[in-house]
């Protein structure tokens, strides 16, 4: 229960930090943080929680990430359902808290968006369903690639939270105009239930596309991140003497070892 509680609180913080910045601060008169600030807020939410609860639950905060980690062989299937329940519940509670806060301002109307994800008429830039689908799949694919690579045992230690947080910031900088950026079904659900019928009606895309992207990202990392068979030492003439090439492992995250003379 401590693990699920960590995922619950972590997803709560993600929604409050990311969606909260979009609803309360993005267009604040004259001092609004805009697209750049919202993108950074999402990244900082994940970055701070990764350091706070990463050692407890792994800090997934996202059903697509949990499914992608399972597909990548990093997470047991028996934990998927309780993780997803905790993530969605934490997100919805944050959405409710945010709704109460936002409704304290005159003229507030959640039907105007409430940081919900959408396509077509509800896309910030008017992008089509196909554009939204492709954007969400591609962004989540690379998000999983980065997560799996940054948390690989061969990767530099201690930098995974920063890599993942900056990746989420970059993803939002790219795709906020397209769908308002989901890559996270729990984040999308958290605000859709308060935004109105249109948001709930389009919510299916923001479950299917991130999960499809996560599965694709996991499959790609299984290919590029797999350790290759270790080669035998090879003798070859070099500069008048014998060069012995050390055993190499591809995909180390650092690069191949250099030949020693």
Kindly report, residue by residue over 124-136, the tens digit of the pLDDT: 999 999 999 999 9
Per-residue model confidence (pLDDT) at position 75 = 93
pTM: 0.83
Please tell me whether residue 98 adopts helix, strand or coil conformation.
Answer: helix
pLDDT tens-digit readout, 26-80: 877 666 788 899 999 999 999 999 999 999 999 999 999 999 999 999 999 999 9
Q: What is the pLDDT of residues 152-200, one digit of tens each?
A: 989 888 899 999 999 999 999 999 999 999 999 999 999 999 998 899 9
Higher local confidence (pLDDT), 114 or 234: 114
Domains of the chain: 2-224 (1.20.1080.10), 230-261 (no CATH)
Query: Measuring CA to CA, which residue among 157, 181, 144 is closest to residue 39?
Result: 181
The helix (H) or strand (E) run that includes residue 36 is helix 34-57
Using left for φ > 0, alpha for ψ between -120 and 50, and beta otherwise, residue 92 falls in alpha
CA angle 78, 83, 88 (to 5 degrees): 140
């Amino acid at each position: 229960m401590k693990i699920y509680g960590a995922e619950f609180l972590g997803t709560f913080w993600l929604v409050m930090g990311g969606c909260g910045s979009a609803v309360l601060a993005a267009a604040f008169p004259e001092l609004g943080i805009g697209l750049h600030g919202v993108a950074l807020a999402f990244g900082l939410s994940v970055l701070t929680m990764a350091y706070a609860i990463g050692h407890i639950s792994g800090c997934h905060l996202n059903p697509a990430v949990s499914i992608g980690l399972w597909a990548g062989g990093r997470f047991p299937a028996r934990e998927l359902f309780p993780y997803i329940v905790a993530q969605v519940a934490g997100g919805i509670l944050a959405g409710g808290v945010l709704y109460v806060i936002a409704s304290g301002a005159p003229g507030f109307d959640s039907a105007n968006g409430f940081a919900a994800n959408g396509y077509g008429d509800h896309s910030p830039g008017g992008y089509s369903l196909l554009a939204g689908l492709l954007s969400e799949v591609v962004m989540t694919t690379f998000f999983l690639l980065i997560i799996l690579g940054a948390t690989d045992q061969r990767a530099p230690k201690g930098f995974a939270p920063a890599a993942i947080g900056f990746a989420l910031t970059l993803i939002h900088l790219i795709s906020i105009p397209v769908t308002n950026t989901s890559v996270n079904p729990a984040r999308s659900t958290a605000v859709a239930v308060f935004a109105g019928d249109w948001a709930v009606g389009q919510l299916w895309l923001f479950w299917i596309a991130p999960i499809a992207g996560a599965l694709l990202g996991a499959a790609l990392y299984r290919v590029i991140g797999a350790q290759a068979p270790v080669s035998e030492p090879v003798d070859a003439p070099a500069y008048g003497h014998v060069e012995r090439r050390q055993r190499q492992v591809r995909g180390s995250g650092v690069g191949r070892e250099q030949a020693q003379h």
